[in-house]
């Protein structure tokens, strides 16, 4: 009988660590765990795989272009936005583990029928960076999971939780490969989709962000609207008094920009400016999940208002915006020294 060599026969792994297996093994470390979070994460995996499949065949299936409507924050909805949102909503409802959802594409909280109620609230951006869809730039999905804190009828207030109460968060990158990056509060791990078996396989365990990087990432087209302190920081990145300048990299898709920042180090920021007092990115389903992951990877995520962590901001409305600076801890500290120093 043929036997495997180190968990492989030829180039085919026979003992792969799939995402579902990984989550179940994490569950076994907590004897009191009910398995509800495991089931919920499985449904999120399915939603991401289905969205990735739609992205791959969008051109052939004529899914490019505008759907003819706007989302909760006034952005034009693309056809893939609508499709991805429907996939996430329907799969999460049918998981029997959620009681409410918050989506970028829906103005109001999405309440799950009582017969399908679970204990979790999921906030998600089903397709981040959708303005890049038609030109084939990397896009992705973002999600954050909270455990509901009280019983009774679900209300919008139940969803207005700070990021420091997240129990899990993740994002899925649809790029040259499809990767799910996940944290359940015990570090960060990356899983690459193997299309031959339709499973996410662990390929980047215990992901950590470098303490310092050589890249800064922001939309410098808005530089004229930034305050003088931040303009001075950007100028010093390009024209340092000593050493080489930092490299500027900006995709315009938060998933892609943050994923690169975690891998290579540096800083990503979407600050407040004179035309947007709270920046552009939404707190519940963009800033909080990404800040949670970056902190779990050893980095920092702040608002730029003193030393305030993004995860400590208490939301007042579902689609609240929040300024954000995240990335390597030393690079974020440098930005704070500019923002909190004298002119």
> Could you say which of 52, 105, 158, 257 is catalytic?
105
CB atoms inside a 10 Å sphere around CB 192: 17
Among 41, 87, 127, 318, the one annotated catalytic: 127
* 104 belongs to the catalytic site: yes
Q: Is 128 a catalytic residue?
A: yes
Choosing from 26, 52, 81, 331, which is the catalytic residue? 81
- Told to judge if 11 belongs to the known catalytic residues of this protein, a careful annotator would answer no
Options 125, 158, 295, 331, the catalytic residue = 125
Which of the following is catalytic: 26, 52, 92, 128?
128
Q: Catalytic: 75?
A: yes
State the catalytic residue, choosing from 52, 257, 286, 331: 286
CB 101 within 8 A of CB 109: yes
Instruction: State yes or no: is 125 an active-site residue.
Output: yes
Q: Annotated catalytic sites, by residue?
A: 75, 81, 104-105, 125, 127-128, 286
């Amino acid at each position: 009988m043929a036997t495997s060599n180190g968990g492989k026969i030829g180039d085919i792994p026979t003992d792969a660590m799939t995402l579902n297996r990984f989550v179940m093994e994490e569950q076994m470390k907590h004897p009191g765990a009910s398995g509800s979070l495991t089931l919920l994460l499985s449904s999120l995996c399915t939603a991401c795989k289905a969205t990735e499949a739609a992205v791959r065949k969008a051109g052939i299936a004529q899914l490019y272009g505008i759907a003819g409507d706007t989302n909760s924050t006034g952005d034009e909805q693309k056809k893939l936005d609508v499709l991805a949102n429907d996939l996430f909503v329907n799969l999460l409802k049918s998981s029997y583990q959620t009681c409410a959802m918050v989506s970028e594409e829906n103005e109001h909280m999405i309440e799950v029928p009582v017969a399908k109620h679970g204990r979790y609230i999921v906030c998600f951006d089903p397709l981040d960076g959708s303005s890049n869809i038609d030109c084939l730039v990397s896009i992705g999905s973002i999600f954050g999971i909270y455990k509901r804190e009280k019983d009774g009828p679900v209300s919008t207030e139940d969803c207005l939780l700070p990021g420091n109460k997240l129990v899990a968060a993740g994002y899925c990158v649809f790029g040259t490969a499809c990767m799910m990056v996940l944290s359940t509060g015990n570090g960060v791990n990356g899983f690459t989709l193997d299309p031959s078996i339709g499973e996410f396989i662990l390929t980047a365990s215990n992901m950590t962000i470098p303490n310092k990087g050589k890249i800064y990432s922001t939309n410098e087209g808005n530089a004229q609207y930034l305050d003088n302190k931040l303009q001075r920081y950007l100028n010093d990145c390009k024209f340092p008094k000593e050493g080489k300048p930092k490299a500027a990299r900006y995709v315009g898709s938060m998933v892609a920009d943050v994923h690169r920042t975690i891998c290579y180090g540096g800083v990503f920021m979407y600050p407040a400016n004179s035309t947007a007092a709270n920046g552009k990115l939404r707190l519940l389903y963009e800033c909080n999940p990404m800040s949670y992951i970056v902190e779990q990877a050893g980095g920092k995520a702040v608002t730029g208002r003193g030393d305030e962590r993004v995860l400590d901001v208490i939301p007042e409305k579902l689609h609240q915006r929040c300024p954000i600076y995240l990335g390597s801890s030393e690079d974020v500290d440098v930005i704070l020294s500019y923002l909190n120093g004298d002119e």
